Amino acid sequence: MANQDELNVPQHELAEAWRRTLTERLHEGDQADVLEDEKDPETLLVHIRSAGRSMLEFDFSVKYVDSREIEIQLTDVERDGQSVDERSDMMQELIADYRRHLHECAQALHDFTHA
């Protein structure tokens, strides 16, 4: 019998559920792509494009630690195709905001991920 806290959802189904749910959690105009990480079946790659003129794009790695808990890594921030220093207060606020949206998405999918 499988461990209750183990993630037992096929990665492609998980990515599809995230694609549907994440856009509902983001600010209006923000866009997100959710891809499967081919190296790790418990990880999704999330690319978020900020709305407006900022031309900011954020890449996150979202790894399921178990069926409910996720670990989020920021992997890149770019503006108009160029890497950006994410240490400024404004960038830290945006990153924290997107991290919160990612956690909200995972919470919204608890029924789906926790069998």
At 4, the pLDDT band (50, 70, 90 cuts) reads low
Note the pLDDT tens digit of each residue in 41-63. Answer: 999 999 999 998 788 999 999 99
d(CA 107, CA 64) in angstroms, rounded, equals 12
Domain ranges of the chain: 11-113
At 2, the pLDDT band (50, 70, 90 cuts) reads very low
d(CA 34, CA 46) in angstroms, rounded, equals 5
d(CA 97, CA 112) in angstroms, rounded, equals 24
In the chain, % of residues over pLDDT 70: 96
Note the pLDDT tens digit of each residue in 70-106. Answer: 999 999 999 989 999 999 999 999 999 999 999 999 9
At 23, the pLDDT band (50, 70, 90 cuts) reads very high
Q: Is the pLDDT of residue 1 over 50?
A: no
Beta pairing, strands 70-79 & 56-64 = antiparallel
Please, what CATH class does the domain formed by 11-113 belong to? Answer: alpha beta
